[in-house]
């Protein structure tokens, strides 16, 4: 879901004057937790696993909360209070094996009137009754409503932030301009309530802001973020062309001691596998991809297992794509997998 | 005999139809016309209302609930986040809604020009997507309006299919329009596919609408989507508590009832006219059946002697009535549908009433309504047959067989009390208050008055002729005619019932329309005292700016200018809007009442129109409040003025007060008094040239004489249907009188034979018949006109004020009434003579022996 709004609004943005993504820009916190309105788009992407506080891990469910800020430039000056340039879009999904499929909801609004905004200076982004913010105690808080079920969670950081790519400059394609500013915050201790019931778990925050479109030859991408049980964190992604080959790939690995390795494209090998066919859309998804990465000089293989096969999301009625985004496990870790561009190429 | 009954029935029926095809056809036609008119009016109205409703629903975008600004100037946009945060509200969509126009607008009554009006909406498409998906456009390529083309729809516009067709626009072209006094020229991005064929509607981005059209900080409407499972009533109440004075909650039901209220009085009145036509049909059936029964009395007596029971006889006559009714109703439905089709294509869905601008009506065939009107026609025919059937059954067969006992006994005085009782009851009902805002009881009263008038005819005829009969005449034909009329008033009233009913109705309508027209004409003279008028169409959201006003005032040749800012405001949900007219200078309106003293300090003096006073119960000298610029302002009712232009009320307040309260300095109308010697035409051209380019297409200049002419033209057009109904009623009445009269004359063949036998010359008999006819016509015309004047007074004094909430002065169209009376007399006398010639064609001997 992460780049959906970018896609959704992409044709509108071609001639705009956006801040460029450049390497060597130092990160400053808490300011970089907040919005970067000069860039075309950015997102606050929280994924995680939660389970009943007093229950077994077998009852674990996946949660995903994403807020997007997208800047739609205006060609002419306009004095109306409705003439903002920013759109806030939010998406949340609950992957509960008891349901067998995702429950999800969205919110979208132009910023303004106190109904939708992304704060500059620190994390506080809201649209209607949904909000994601950083409290004075340094904890992150998320509040969303999905299918009438309130989701109130607090995320307590236990580790420092990972700057992805080159000190936070993360290339997404062969062209150096195809890049984003990207940091991740893994191993967030999670507690709160889901539909009134106390839950605990572990979550992951991804933050990216960018002004650049994907490579024109890209048809989709795959992304994986895993909180390893030993306290480590693994990020992998690739951008695919029409033949299903990687146009670009990357990611990082941080072990429990805090030693971080950034992956170059040649360090990631991602093969689509474990095809599942959606009975609703007829689309086929490689929900158990075979993924390898080179840690040091050693290739590591990952066996990915989805919480359930049906974690397909259809946003086509609202102009968005059909995609798969779901909770997955690997031996010794849990996280989220995102698959896009498998039913139809994502048009840019 | 039981086995014989159906045979006899068929035989009698066939015989009667063969013998009297014209009279039966007239009776069928009378029923058919009543049914047709009623059905047609119903069809046209429901088609118009349906199309108007669909158009309204399109403009509303089918939101669960809307909060609307009471005035076109809108409400503070700060209400939008407040409503959006209310519990139970799933989403709120702010909307700028302004009247707009493209091209050059035609003035009312003039042939169409290159332009037209439409409703321009400014929406936040991300919100509209959730609340009113019907207001989201689709591009020419079939893509949703969200996420295609320019993100904020800057310089883009989406048109409804109806508007697209009307302006002959295509996607990709520029569409130049004017709204709120400003011009705008966006590119057509696509259509609002979901908005249907009924509404002329366009959508642009809300920020663009506010900025380009000067609507900063204002929205006219906030559409709401309720949370699932929320209780609409509770939420409506909660919202109503949160609203400022210049906003109100509009539910879909309320909007529908508003649309309904807009034309309800007009529709109901047309429907009532149709029912009255049906009533006339009933009288004609009665008259035809009575004559037919009288003529066939020996036949019935023979059947009775052969064993047909009285009940069987009544049944026989009722079957005849039923056949008449079925034929009439069937013909009426077909005729009605054709009529409705013609009316919709020729006059438009509102039958020229002007209530539904731009809405294209589509005709349907509603089986339930069809059955209803057919049933009414049947019931009328049966009722018309029942009375003569019962009378026939009462006559002893022995008498009837001899050709005697035709029920006319000159010695017996016809009873006046049933007619008088009906008239008394009718008068009482006519003065009753309205039911559900409609003059239902007054119409019932009119029906009773009509029935009473007809029932009173025999007694009246005798009373009128009594002095003449006592005096006698030395001229034989006159003497015979008077004695016949005096002696057989029932027969006279039979011939007259139809004509009295239709004359009365025609006179009533004619007097009402004449009174209305005269009052409107007087009113037009009073409200148009200046030399030149300027009106901006579709400029409710904002008209001519102050600097443009200054340019207009600087035009040479102008002695004085009275400026006006007109807009509509909604005072109550579910009620049509009231016109708020901020007038500069001395208000030029005909005052009906005026307050004794000046307005109390701190209040704004207002003049309210008659419908306003009626609908909202405001009275001269009252203090009330009016929501202006977001706050309730105290106002003082300084006077009530007569207004025929705005049926749902109008309020005049001083322009200076309006400007002080709202800060809105624009104007939409102006009246110019010219300096002596100035040429109106030259001044008009100079004014037109001084207008801002954006509003030139909306500007309409008028001079009083021409405006008066156009207004009266519109008046006449809106009464076109009424005139048609009148003509049909009178025509049926005349045909009725001709057929029944000739039948009666033919029935008296034996009498003429006897007269000839005792030495009365043929010419004398003919003269007698002519005099009888003229006498009947005279009595009928006198009674019809008298009754009609009574009905007219009910229409003018009760029905009109109750329906349209305005009063008028009674005016009598004497030439029309005199002409009507002359036509009636001539027709009756002429028919009598023509029939008499036929009756006298045979020799007297044969006539005496005539055995029909």
With CA atoms as reference, the chain B residue closest to A70 would be B151
Alpha-carbon dihedral sign for residues B327, B330, B331, B336: positive
List phi, psi (to 5°) of A173.
Answer: -165, 175
Q: Between vectors from CA B399 to CA B299 and to CA B841, what angle results, nearest 5°?
A: 60
pLDDT tens-place string over residues A99-136: 888 999 988 899 999 999 999 999 999 999 999 999 99
CB atoms A319 and B150 under 8 Å: no
Q: How much is the average pLDDT of B789-800?
A: 90
Asked whether the beta carbons of B662 and B629 are under 8 A apart, the reply is yes
- Chain A residues at the B interface, defined by Cβ less than 8 Å, are 8-9, 11-13, 72-76, 78-84, 87, 108-110, 113-115, 128, 148, 318-319
Q: What is the C-alpha to C-alpha distance for residues A272 and A337, in angstroms, rounded to an integer?
A: 12
Q: What is the C-alpha to C-alpha distance for residues B102 and B100, in angstroms, rounded to an integer?
A: 7
The alpha carbons of chain A give a radius of gyration, in whole angstroms, of 19
Q: What is the C-alpha to C-alpha distance for residues B239 and B556, in angstroms, rounded to an integer?
A: 53
Q: What is the C-alpha to C-alpha distance for residues A116 and B124, in angstroms, rounded to an integer?
A: 13
- Contacting residues of A for B84, CB less than 8 Å apart: 113, 115, 128
Q: pLDDT higher for B534 or B455?
A: B534
SS3 B211: helix
SS3 B578: strand
Asked whether the beta carbons of A86 and A37 are under 8 A apart, the reply is yes
pLDDT tops 80 at residue A36: yes
Tell me the pTM: 0.77
State the Cα torsion B696-B702-B707-B711 to the nearest 10°: 10
Q: How much is the average pLDDT of B692-702?
A: 85
Instruction: Determine the length of chain B.
Output: 852
Mutate to test the interface with A, among B151, B205, B230 (most CBs of A within 10 A): B151
Query: Mind listing the domains of chain A with CATH numbers?
Result: 4-340 (2.40.370.10)
Of A129-143, B286-300, B370-384, B529-543, give the lowest mean pLDDT range: B286-300
pLDDT tops 80 at residue B257: no
CB atoms B216 and A79 under 8 Å: yes
Q: Between vectors from CA A26 to CA A25 and to CA A30, what angle results, nearest 5°?
A: 125
Rounded to a whole number of angstroms, the distance from the CA of B53 to the nearest CA of chain A is 29
**Which residue, among A33, A28, A27, has the nearest Cα to A133 in the 3D structure?**
A33
Tell me the pLDDT band of A262, cut-offs 50, 70 and 90. Answer: very high
pLDDT tens-place string over residues B168-215: 988 889 999 988 888 899 999 888 877 767 788 999 999 999 999 888
What's residue B752's pLDDT? 79
**Which residue, among B48, B54, B42, has the nearest Cα to B367 in the 3D structure?**
B42
**How many Cβ atoms from other residues are within 10 Å of residue B738's Cβ?**
22
Question: What are B47's two structure tokens?
Answer: 């088609």
**What spatial distance separates the first Cα and last Cα of chain B, rounded to whole Å?**
24
pLDDT tens-place string over residues B612-643: 998 888 999 999 988 887 788 899 999 999 98
Instruction: Determine the length of chain A.
Output: 348
Distance of CA B632 to the CA centre of its chain: 36
Tell me the pLDDT band of B726, cut-offs 50, 70 and 90. Answer: low
Q: How much is the average pLDDT of B731-750?
A: 72
Tell me the pLDDT band of B252, cut-offs 50, 70 and 90. Answer: confident
Residues paired with residue A51 on neighbouring β-strands, in sequence order: A200
CB atoms A87 and B126 under 8 Å: yes
Query: In a 10 Å sphere around its CB, with 0-12 CB exposed, 13-18 middle and 19+ buried, how is residue B344 labelled?
Result: buried
- Contacting residues of B for A76, CB less than 8 Å apart: 154-155
Rounded to a whole number of angstroms, the distance from the CA of A345 to the nearest CA of chain B is 17
Mutate to test the interface with A, among B82, B94, B122, B126 (most CBs of A within 10 A): B126
Catalogue the E-assigned strands of B103-206.
Answer: 116-123, 138-139, 156-159, 177-179, 182-184, 187-191, 201-205
pLDDT tens-place string over residues B53-106: 677 666 666 788 899 998 888 899 999 999 999 988 989 999 999 989 888 877
**Which residue, among A40, A98, A104, A35, has the nearest Cα to A320 in the 3D structure?**
A104
Rounded to a whole number of angstroms, the distance from the CA of A4 to the nearest CA of chain B is 11
pLDDT tops 70 at residue A283: yes
What's residue A7's pLDDT? 43
pLDDT tops 90 at residue A82: yes
Tell me the pLDDT band of B360, cut-offs 50, 70 and 90. Answer: low
For chain B, give the mean pLDDT.
81
- Chain B residues at the A interface, defined by Cβ less than 8 Å, are 77, 80-81, 84-85, 91, 94, 124, 126-127, 129, 143-144, 146-152, 154-155, 205-211, 216-217, 228
**A/B interface, count of CB pairs below 8 Å:** 77
Q: pLDDT higher for B142 or B139?
A: B139
What's residue B443's pLDDT? 87
pLDDT tops 60 at residue B845: no
Highest mean pLDDT among B325-334, B462-471, B483-492: B325-334
With CA atoms as reference, the chain A residue closest to B213 would be A80
With CA atoms as reference, the chain A residue closest to B83 would be A115
- Give kind and range of the element (H or E) at residue B367: helix B367-394
**Cβ contacts of residue B729 below 8 Å, gap of 6+?**
B276, B277, B280, B502, B505, B506
Question: What are B647's two structure tokens?
Answer: 């049926």
Q: How much is the average pLDDT of B227-256?
A: 84
ipTM: 0.88
What's residue B409's pLDDT? 59
């Amino acid at each position: 879901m992460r780049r959906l709004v970018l896609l959704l609004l992409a044709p509108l943005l071609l001639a705009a004057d956006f801040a460029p993504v450049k390497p060597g820009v130092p990160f400053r916190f808490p300011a970089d937790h907040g919005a970067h309105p000069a860039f075309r788009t950015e997102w606050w992407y929280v994924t995680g696993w939660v389970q009943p506080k007093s229950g077994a891990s077998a009852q674990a469910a996946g949660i995903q909360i994403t807020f997007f800020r997208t800047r739609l430039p205006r060609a002419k000056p306009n004095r109306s209070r409705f003439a903002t340039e920013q759109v806030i879009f939010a998406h949340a999904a609950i992957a509960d094996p008891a349901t067998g499929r995702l429950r999800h909801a969205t919110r979208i609004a132009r910023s303004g009137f106190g109904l939708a905004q992304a704060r500059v200076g620190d994390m506080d982004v809201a649209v209607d009754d949904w909000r994601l913010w950083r409290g004075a105690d340094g904890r992150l808080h998320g509040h969303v409503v999905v299918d009438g079920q309130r989701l109130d969670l607090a995320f307590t950081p236990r580790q420092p932030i990972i700057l992805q790519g080159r000190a936070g400059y993360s290339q997404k394609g062969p062209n150096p301009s195809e890049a984003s500013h990207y940091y991740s915050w893994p191993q967030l201790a999670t507690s709160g309530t889901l539909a009134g019931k106390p839950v605990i778990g572990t979550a992951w925050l991804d933050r990216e802001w960018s002004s650049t479109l994907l490579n024109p030859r890209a048809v989709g991408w795959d992304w994986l973020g895993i909180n390893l049980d030993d306290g480590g964190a693994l990020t992998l992604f690739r951008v695919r062309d029409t033949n299903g080959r990687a146009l670009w790939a990357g990611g990082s690995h941080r072990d429990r001691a805090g030693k971080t390795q950034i992956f170059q494209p040649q360090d990631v090998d991602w093969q689509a596998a474990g095809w599942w066919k959606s009975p609703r859309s007829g689309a086929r998804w490689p929900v158990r991809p075979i993924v390898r990465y080179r840690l040091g000089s050693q290739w590591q293989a990952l066996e990915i297992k989805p919480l359930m096969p049906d974690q397909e999301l259809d946003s086509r009625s609202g102009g968005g794509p059909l995609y798969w985004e779901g909770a997955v496990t690997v031996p010794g870790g849990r996280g989220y997998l995102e698959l896009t561009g498998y039913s139809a190429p994502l048009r840019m | 005999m039981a086995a014989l009954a159906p045979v006899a029935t068929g035989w009698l029926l066939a015989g009667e139809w063969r013998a009297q095809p014209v009279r039966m056809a007239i009776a069928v036609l009378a029923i058919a016309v009543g049914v047709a008119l009623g059905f047609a009016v119903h069809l046209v109205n429901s088609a118009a209302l349906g199309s108007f409703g669909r158009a309204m629903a399109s403009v509303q975008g089918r939101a669960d609930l809307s909060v609307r600004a009471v005035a076109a100037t809108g409400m503070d946009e700060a209400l939008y986040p407040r409503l959006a945060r209310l519990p139970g509200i799933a989403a709120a969509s702010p909307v700028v809604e302004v009247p707009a126009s493209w091209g050059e607008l035609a003035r009312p009554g003039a042939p169409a020009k290159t332009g037209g009006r439409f409703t321009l909406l400014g929406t936040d498409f991300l919100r509209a997507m959730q609340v009113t998906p019907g207001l989201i456009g689709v591009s020419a390529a079939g893509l949703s309006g969200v996420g295609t083309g320019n993100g904020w729809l800057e310089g883009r516009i989406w048109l409804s299919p109806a508007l697209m067709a009307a302006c002959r626009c295509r996607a990709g072209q520029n569409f130049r329009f004017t709204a709120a006094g400003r011009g705008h020229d966006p590119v057509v991005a696509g259509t609002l596919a979901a908005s249907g064929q009924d509404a002329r509607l366009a959508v642009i981005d809300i920020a663009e609408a506010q900025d380009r059209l000067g609507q900063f900080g204002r929205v006219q409407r906030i559409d709401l989507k309720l949370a699932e499972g929320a209780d609409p009533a509770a939420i409506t109440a909660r919202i109503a508590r949160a609203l400022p004075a210049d906003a109100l909650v509009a539910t879909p039901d309320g909007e529908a009832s508003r649309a309904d209220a807009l034309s309800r009085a007009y529709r109901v009145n047309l429907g009532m006219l149709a029912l009255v036509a049906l009533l006339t049909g009933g009288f004609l059936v009665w008259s035809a059946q009575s004559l037919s029964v009288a003529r066939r009395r020996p036949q019935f007596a023979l059947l009775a002697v052969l064993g047909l029971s009285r009940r069987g006889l009544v049944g026989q006559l009722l079957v005849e009535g039923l056949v008449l009714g079925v034929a009439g109703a069937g013909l009426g439905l077909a005729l009605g549908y054709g009529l409705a089709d013609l009316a919709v294509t020729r006059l438009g869905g509102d039958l020229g009433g002007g209530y539904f601008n731009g809405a294209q009506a589509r005709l349907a065939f509603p089986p339930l309504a069809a059955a209803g009107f057919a049933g009414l026609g049947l019931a009328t025919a049966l009722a018309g047959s029942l009375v003569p059937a019962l009378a026939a059954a009462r006559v002893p067969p022995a008498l009837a067989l001899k050709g005697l006992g035709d029920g006319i006994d000159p010695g017996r005085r016809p009873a006046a009390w049933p007619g008088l009782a009906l008239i008394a009851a009718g008068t009482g009902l006519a003065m009753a208050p309205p039911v559900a805002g409609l003059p239902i009881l007054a119409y019932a009263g009119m029906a009773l008055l009509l029935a009473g008038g007809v029932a009173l005819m025999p007694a009246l005829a005798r009373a009128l002729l009594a002095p003449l009969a006592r005096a006698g005449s030395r001229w034989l034909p006159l003497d015979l005619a008077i004695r016949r009329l005096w002696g057989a008033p029932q027969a006279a009233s039979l011939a007259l019932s139809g004509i009295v009913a239709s004359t009365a109705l025609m006179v009533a309508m004619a007097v009402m329309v004449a009174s209305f027209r005269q009052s409107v004409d007087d009113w037009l003279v009073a409200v148009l005292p200046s030399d030149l008028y300027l009106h901006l169409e579709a400029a409710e959201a904002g008209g001519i700016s102050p600097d443009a006003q200054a340019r207009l005032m600087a035009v040479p040749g102008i002695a004085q200018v009275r400026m006006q800012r007109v807009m509509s405001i909604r005072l109550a949900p579910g009620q049509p809007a009231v016109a708020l007219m901020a007038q500069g200078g001395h208000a030029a309106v005909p005052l009906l009442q005026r307050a004794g003293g000046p307005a109390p300090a701190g209040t704004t003096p207002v003049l309210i129109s008659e419908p306003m006073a009626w609908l909202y119960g405001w009275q001269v000298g009252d203090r009330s409040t009016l929501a202006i610029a977001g706050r309730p302002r105290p106002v003082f009712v300084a006077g009530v003025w007569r207004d025929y232009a705005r049926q749902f009320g109008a309020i005049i307040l001083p322009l200076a007060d309006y400007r002080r309260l709202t800060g809105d300095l624009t104007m939409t109308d102006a009246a110019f008094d010219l300096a002596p010697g100035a040429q109106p035409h030259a001044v008009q051209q100079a004014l037109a040239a001084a207008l801002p380019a954006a509003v030139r297409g909306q500007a309409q200049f008028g001079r009083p004489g021409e405006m008066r002419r156009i207004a009266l033209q519109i008046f006449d057009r809106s009464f076109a249907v009424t005139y048609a109904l009148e003509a049909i009623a009178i025509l049926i009445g005349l045909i009725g009188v001709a057929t029944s009269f000739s039948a009666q004359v033919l029935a008296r063949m034996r009498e003429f034979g006897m007269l000839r036998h005792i030495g009365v010359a043929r010419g004398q008999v003919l003269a007698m018949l002519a005099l009888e006819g003229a006498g009947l016509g005279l009595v009928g015309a006198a009674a019809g006109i008298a009754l009609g004047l009574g009905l007219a007074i009910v229409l003018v004094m009760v029905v009109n004020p109750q329906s349209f909430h305005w009063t008028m002065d009674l005016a009598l169209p004497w030439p029309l009434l005199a002409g009507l009376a002359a036509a009636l007399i001539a027709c009756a006398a002429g028919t009598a003579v023509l029939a008499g010639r036929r009756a006298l064609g045979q020799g007297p001997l044969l006539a005496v022996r005539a055995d029909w």
